[in-house]
Amino acid sequence: MSRATRLLLLTLTGTLVLTGLSRGQGREPFNLEVGDPARKTKSIALVVDQIHDTNKGVDVSPDEVAAALSDASIVLVGEAHTSIESHRVQIAVIAALQRAGRKVTIGLEMFPAEAPTAPFDRWLRGGIDEAALLRESGWYDYWGYPWGYYRDVFLIAKQYRLPIRGVNAPRAVVAMVGRRGLAGIGGMERGQIAPTIDTTNEEHKQVFLAYVGGTSDTPASATSSGAPGHGAGMPAETLQRMVDAQCTWDATMALHAAELIKDNPDPKAVVVVLVGSGHVAYGLGIARQAKAYTDKRVATVLPIASTPGKPEQIRASVADIVWGVPAETYPLFPTLGVSFRSNGDQPNTVLMVSPGSAAETMGLKPGDMLMTIDDQPIHKDVEVRALLDRKQWGDAVKATVKRGADTLTLTGRLRRR
């Protein structure tokens, strides 16, 4: 399956979110001459454990990050979803702001704004354990990544009794935007996303293309011609629908973060939004869209992985705070490496199989209907996520699938590749 086809399928199922660099992707998204005019022509060295305030051009300590963010009411802290190092940065930022006396609310990309808040509140009070939190909050329904990456975020929230709220748009509505474009959305669905969504910013399109595999040496506006090589070779109309979907995520999260800060009159209040790095980079995602909803400062913090022995330069405009973290070769928690249909009457049908994944090694194929894992019945992808969260790398996996008229038993081990 081509990269273009994979990206299109992810968009149509509402699962494409720009998360930061995936393993093996180039460094281009962090070295684009876009964003703040005062900083976009400047380069800075990316160094592990170096925290750089790009506005002042100085290195700072973790505690000094709070001072650099003292006038910000919304702080966007990026992540690569399967990078434990980026989650450690998020925790460090939350802790620094808390120690500085800020009244922190944690906003999560992982949950839509309409998700029930009662499970979060009971968790903070010590009324439920982790298993109940995952079950009652719908963690596996809303989010496809292992709980282990986020556990410490919830623990620090519990330690300091920091409110937790979802800020995202309903995934099904954004998937609809990916299929139809923003202009094709109306009625009840249009009311579930931000009322004002800017999809025309050329620099944002350039960043988007860099993330999905387009080229940055040609202006983003050139994609209107549908020239080959831009956006992994997809037609211009398809790319625009993908941009529309990305902007819908951005604007809706901006709206809900702005509402959270508006609802809190405390002058020390700050909303810390934990979100994929593609929504943070260059201030062209959520921060740009937030101008329609608040006049408060929106600051950006971006953890960026640095490879040992490979000095790298990135643009100073990429974020207000650039935090160098060690590159991670392998994901910390096991995954099967499949995507499923998100709707329809067969949500346990395999949509895609990731190259090199455990699923590919076992012999799973697109179109297979996954019936059981380790003899546990599977009806939808949520059940797969919950089962895998109890496994470790190296564990054996047995799957039963229906492939056409045949029922097959496939076996393998969860191994990093």
CA–CA gap between residue 269 and residue 98 (Å, rounded): 10
pLDDT for position 342 = 62
pLDDT higher than threshold 60 for residue 302: yes
pLDDT higher than threshold 90 for residue 28: no
pLDDT-based confidence at residue 85 (cuts at 50, 70, 90): very high
pLDDT higher than threshold 70 for residue 10: no
CA–CA gap between residue 267 and residue 85 (Å, rounded): 31
CA–CA gap between residue 69 and residue 100 (Å, rounded): 10
- pTM of the prediction? 0.90
Show the beta-strand stretches assigned E in 70-128. Answer: 72-79, 103-112
One-letter amino acid at 343 equals: N
Q: What is the dihedral of CA 264, 292, 57, 51, to 10 degrees?
A: 50
CB contact at 8 A, 367 and 349? yes
pLDDT for position 341 = 78
Is 343 exposed, middle or buried, given 0-12, 13-18 or 19+ CB atoms closer than 10 A? exposed
List, for residues 30-83, the tens digit of each pLDDT value: 999 999 999 999 999 999 999 999 999 999 999 999 999 999 999 999 999 999
User: Per-residue DSSP letters for 299-353?
Assistant: EEEEEEEE-TT--EEEEGGG-SEEEEEE--SS-SS----EEE-SSSS-TTBEEEE
pLDDT for position 22 = 39
One-letter amino acid at 295 equals: D
Structure tokens at 145: 């990544």
Mean pLDDT of 379-391: 91
pLDDT for position 25 = 41
pLDDT-based confidence at residue 381 (cuts at 50, 70, 90): confident
- Residue 263 CB partners (closer than 8 Å, separation 6+): none
* Average pLDDT score over the chain: 89
Domains along the sequence of the chain with CATH:
3-172+241-326 (3.40.50.11550), 338-413 (2.30.42.10)
CA–CA gap between residue 74 and residue 94 (Å, rounded): 12
CA–CA gap between residue 203 and residue 217 (Å, rounded): 12
List, for residues 184-239, the tens digit of each pLDDT value: 999 999 999 999 999 999 999 999 999 887 543 333 333 333 333 345 567 889 99
For 112, the 3-state DSSP assignment is strand
Q: How much of the chain, in percent, has pLDDT values that exceed 90?
A: 81
pLDDT for position 398 = 97
Q: Which residue has the tokens 């973790």?
A: 62
Q: What is the dihedral of CA 293, 299, 303, 309, to 10 degrees?
A: 130
Pairing verdict, β 51-53 and 58-60: antiparallel
402 φ, ψ (degrees, to nearest 5): -100, 125
pLDDT-based confidence at residue 6 (cuts at 50, 70, 90): low
pLDDT higher than threshold 60 for residue 317: yes
One-letter amino acid at 380 equals: K
Least confident residue range of 21-35, 79-93, 209-223, 371-385: 209-223
Side by side, which strands form the sheet with 51-53?
58-60, 51-53, 321-326, 297-306, 72-79, 269-276, 103-112, 164-168
One-letter amino acid at 263 equals: D
Handedness of CA 35, 38, 40, 45 (dihedral sign): negative
For 156, the 3-state DSSP assignment is helix
235 φ, ψ (degrees, to nearest 5): -60, 155
